[in-house]
């Protein structure tokens, strides 16, 4: 059985992207960064997305504040047909809320 060709590059978002990513991505701590890993919610290719500490650090442990919104985009290593300057990823982007205190 052959693998279907990757979707063409298309810069854009969809409400479903965030829902799919929230259901399938894992979150790992690496020092001062978080790495979210999972399949891109548009193209299905495996990807990693790093978020540095300044974007998710809570004010205090006692008062962690609200969840932090993070805009993510497809970082899969596949070059999709029509991508600008052989850019990797399919062009999808979405926003996820990282829970307060995610820095561990």
Q: If pLDDT is split at 50, 70 and 90, which confidence band does 64 have?
A: low
Q: HEC profile for 14-48?
A: CHHHHHHHHHHCEEEEECCEEEEEEECCCCCCEEE
Residue 10 lies in a domain: no
Residue 104 lies in a domain: no
How many angstroms separate the CA atoms of 54 and 56, rounded? 6
Q: 17 in the Ramachandran plot: left (φ > 0), alpha (ψ -120 to 50) or beta?
A: alpha
pLDDT, tens only, 31-52: 888 899 999 999 999 999 998 8
Residue 4 lies in a domain: no
State the pLDDT at residue 41: 97
pLDDT, tens only, 82-94: 999 878 999 999 9
Domain range for 60: 15-98
Residue 59 lies in a domain: yes
CB contact set of 4 (below 8 Å; sequence gap of 6+): none
User: For the chain, what is the domain count?
Assistant: 1
């Amino acid at each position: 059985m052959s693998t279907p060709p990757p979707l063409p590059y298309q810069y854009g978002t969809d409400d479903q992207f965030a829902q799919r990513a929230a259901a399938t991505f894992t979150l790992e701590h690496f020092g001062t960064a978080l790495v979210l890993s999972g399949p891109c919610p548009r193209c299905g290719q495996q990807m990693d997305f790093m978020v540095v500490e300044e974007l998710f650090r809570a004010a205090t442990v006692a008062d962690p504040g609200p969840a932090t919104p993070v805009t993510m985009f497809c970082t899969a290593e596949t070059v999709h047909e029509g991508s600008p300057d052989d850019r990797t990823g399919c062009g999808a982007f979405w926003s996820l809320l990282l829970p307060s205190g995610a820095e561990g």
